[in-house]
């Protein structure tokens, strides 16, 4: 049994909060489903606990972390233990392939993307973040170290598109103000949520900065929220129905 996630973040030790806080937002799910088109069979690579897996198609999930696999809800089929870089399927097995917020964690993205293309007869759908747009989010003011660490993790969008080949579209994904998927930008209008440790534990980015940096962030943001400094600088966001940050949907056909 593998004791450690096959990637840059150890979900066996750090993935406890993911099932609670990283839930599929229906508006983002709608965009993903539309991108899958009429595909009936789909492989979901780096599936985690199953967020965004469509339930009206035949989905085969691949997830190397045991903690993530056992955290999948009962209505979803079990995931198989495999990695993106070596998918145990014949060529053109599926109508489509999807990989959602996972490419940046693969040990070899070149092999992983090649495998997605190999096993899919049709679309390859990837949800990821644009490292060059991360500083649009106010979190960059508080933890520039985290933004820098994240930027190093995310492969460039044009590189992903070129590696996949075919006809590729890259579209921004607006983040709804009440987004229920707890990645960092989901709280653009709710800074108080990032003061909750359990919420931060469902965001892998915090594992790439020191505890001292995280403590500094919590102290500063708490002070700014209580004292009103955050609202003076960013309070207009509390009334914005969506935020166009760094979330991107890549579809290669």
Q: Report yes or no on 4 lying in a domain.
A: no
- How many domains does the structure of the chain reveal? 1
User: Rounded to an integer, what distance in angstroms lies between the CA atom of residue 197 and that of residue 194?
Assistant: 7
Structural domain including 205 reads 11-252
Asked if residues 48 and 63 have their Cβ atoms less than 8 Å apart, the reply is yes
Q: Report yes or no on 3 lying in a domain.
A: no
pLDDT (0 to 100) of residue 16: 60
pLDDT (0 to 100) of residue 1: 35
Q: Report yes or no on 1 lying in a domain.
A: no
End-to-end alpha carbon distance in the chain: 36
pLDDT tens track for 143-157: 999 999 999 999 999
Asked if residues 94 and 43 have their Cβ atoms less than 8 Å apart, the reply is yes
pLDDT tens track for 32-68: 999 999 999 999 999 999 999 999 999 999 999 998 9
pLDDT (0 to 100) of residue 99: 98
pLDDT tens track for 163-196: 999 999 999 999 999 999 999 999 999 999 999 9
CATH of the domain at 22: 3.40.50.150
Q: Report yes or no on 163 lying in a domain.
A: yes
- Check pLDDT > 80 for residue 241: yes
Q: Report yes or no on 2 lying in a domain.
A: no
pLDDT tens track for 100-159: 999 999 999 999 999 999 999 999 999 999 999 999 999 999 999 999 999 999 999 999
pLDDT (0 to 100) of residue 5: 47
pLDDT band at 8 (very low <50, low <70, confident <90, very high): low
Q: Report yes or no on 5 lying in a domain.
A: no
pLDDT (0 to 100) of residue 159: 97
Asked if residues 131 and 60 have their Cβ atoms less than 8 Å apart, the reply is no
pLDDT (0 to 100) of residue 17: 62
Sorted by sequence, the CB contacts under 8 Å of residue 193 that are 6+ apart come out as: 182, 187, 199
pLDDT (0 to 100) of residue 22: 80
Mean pLDDT value of segment 68-88: 94
């Amino acid at each position: 049994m593998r004791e450690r996630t096959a990637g840059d973040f150890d979900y066996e030790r750090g993935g406890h909060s993911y099932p609670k806080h990283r839930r599929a937002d229906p508006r983002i799910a709608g965009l993903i489903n539309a991108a899958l088109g009429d595909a009936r069979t789909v492989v979901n690579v780096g599936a985690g606990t199953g967020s965004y897996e469509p339930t009206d198609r035949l989905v085969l999930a691949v997830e190397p972390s045991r903690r993530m696999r056992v955290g999948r809800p009962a209505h979803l089929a079990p995931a198989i233990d495999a990695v993106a870089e070596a998918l145990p399927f014949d060529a053109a097995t599926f109508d489509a392939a999807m990989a959602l917020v996972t490419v940046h964690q693969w040990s070899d993205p070149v092999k992983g993307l090649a495998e997605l293309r190999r096993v899919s007869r049709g679309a390859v759908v990837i949800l990821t973040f644009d490292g060059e747009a991360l500083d649009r989010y106010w979190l960059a003011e508080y933890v520039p170290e985290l933004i820098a660490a994240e930027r190093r993790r995310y492969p460039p969008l044009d590189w992903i598109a070129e590696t996949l080949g075919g006809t590729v579209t890259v579209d921004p994904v607006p983040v709804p103000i009440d987004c229920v998927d707890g990645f960092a930008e989901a709280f653009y209008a709710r800074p108080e949520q990032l003061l909750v440790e359990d919420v931060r534990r469902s965001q892998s980015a915090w594992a790439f900065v020191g505890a001292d940096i995280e403590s500094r962030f919590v102290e500063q943001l708490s002070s700014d929220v209580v004292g009103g400094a955050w609202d003076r600088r960013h309070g207009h966001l509390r009334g914005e129905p969506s935020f166009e940050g760094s979330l991107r949907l890549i579809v290669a056909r």
